[in-house]
Amino acid sequence: MNALMSLVEPAQLLPARQQMAFTLMFHIILVPLGVALPTMMLIANYKGLRHCDSVALTLARRWSHVAGLTFAVGAASGTVLSFEMGLLWPGLTGRFGEVFGLPFAIEGVAFFLEAILVAVYIYGWRRMRPWTHFWLGVPIPFIAFGGAFSIISANAWMNMPAGFTLDSAGRPVDIDPAAAILNKALPYELAHFMLAAYMACGFTVASVYAVGWLRGRRDRYHRLGILIPFTIAAVLTPVQFVVGDRVAVAIFSDQPAKFAAMEVVTTSGSNQPEIIFGRYDSATNTVTGGIRIPGLDSWLAGGSTDTYVKGLDSFPAADRPPNVNIVHWAFDIMVGIGTLLIGLALWFAIAYWRRRDVPRSRLFLWCAAAAGFLTYVALEAGWIVTEVGRQPWVVYNILRTEDAVTPAEGVWVSFIAVIVLYLVLGAGTVAALRAMSRRWRRSDRTVDADAVYGPRPAVVPEAGSGDAPAGESEVTR
């Protein structure tokens, strides 16, 4: 019966899934900057104040402007996502809104608090006492963590639903919002995502300055611009590898169908090989091609080659992830990039230990420049594993995606409208970032033009404007 129903999918299911995937993949580009960049700007700010380092203060100020821009764009794209949850998936929000709706309320509070503090922090650079200004920025990373916590909690709940029981009619009763928020998947999903966010932000910010170094701008500004974010990302990369392993073990236990798709395990049994890439054929339930490492998959899942792993043959066809190859390839890409980043982090650590400086070789700088892009590829791949691997369920083992989708017509129209909106947002963001970069390069050629806590430079009126020369009177201590 389930197999028959899966053959007759609602017409709105494909565009609704495509629209949700597109908006999520766009939004996730901005999230690491909103979550992690405030921490890096505060580290630079502290270093600048503690050591009277004008270069570090300049970095902190410029990063705060980038954080403000990406936060504003992320707020717009995130608002669209919030509306999509209700408009595209009324079967989910209408039936289970009371269960997992609280995290969205928490995220709303965190959003407004972060918006206020980011604005105050940016506005206060030349208007507040330096240390007062710094301490006003300290809550921002914690509030950003609160927003990430709430959204990851909602997603983790979809993977491991908790905090309710179903009555005879299938309606949730005995609702416990705290249990829903603190579900079983939350600890490992939250740790995995936060580490990924800091890695993506750190490697990406460092990559900008690595490109500048490759173009000949070999000064202390670019050195520090690489050193601060790259160090954070490099330290967290091996931690992420360990956490990622624990996440895979948890998925093996809690979501065996997703694990079977991730590792493309076709037949249940022990001594399962690790298959790197390869292509799965659903008609024959076989894998062709790829690199096979005997027994490794069982060993990684349970610490022994005798570990029994459920294969795709253990699940009815209607309950398997419909896109096994996408899940498997995304998982392999994520792990492969993570492995490369560990090598890069180790290279950086050895070079810094020996010379107390950023490696100066062009090969390292090229790798550092590529690391930002690769980390985002891994981040997107991880979300593909999470979301596509959970299919055909929107709430694991309780509510199918096809049963949650809207019956309304015109989803393709809304999808096209969202694409246009996000293209405009993306183009505007890139244009604004490029304008910032050009302005900062011009100010670098002007002595004291970008003094962070000093008085603002005088504004010289244009000839014939009729305005008297004026300098802004600001007291900064």
pLDDT (0 to 100) of residue 357: 79
Taking the domains of the chain in order of start, what are their residue ranges? 12-184+410-455, 233-408
Residue with tokens 């600048």: 48
pLDDT (0 to 100) of residue 446: 56
pTM of the shown model: 0.89
Q: What is the DSSP string of 427-444?
A: HHHHHHHHHHHHHHHHHH
Tell me the range of 1-15, 77-91, 418-432 where mean pLDDT is highest: 418-432
* Helix, strand, coil fractions of the chain, as percent rounded to 5: 70, 5, 25
pLDDT (0 to 100) of residue 7: 55
* Residue 447 CB neighbours (<10 A): 9
Average pLDDT, whole number, for the chain? 88
pLDDT in tens, 131-181: 999 999 999 999 999 999 999 999 999 999 999 998 888 888 899 999 999
Q: From CA 421, how far away is CA 435, in angstroms rounded?
A: 21
User: Residue 11 pLDDT more than 90?
Assistant: no
Of the pLDDT bands very low, low, confident and very high (cuts 50, 70, 90), residue 454 is low
96-100, 183-187, 295-299: which has the minimum mean pLDDT? 96-100
Residue 311 contacts residue 275 (beta carbons within 8 Å): no
- Residue 251 structure tokens: 């998925």
Q: From CA 197, how far away is CA 254, in angstroms rounded?
A: 24
Q: At residue 293, what are phi and psi to the nearest 5 degrees? A: -115, 105
pLDDT in tens, 370-429: 999 999 999 999 999 999 999 999 999 999 999 999 998 889 999 999 999 999 999 999
Q: From CA 471, how far away is CA 460, in angstroms rounded?
A: 8
Tell me how far the alpha carbon of residue 263 is from its chain's centroid: 23
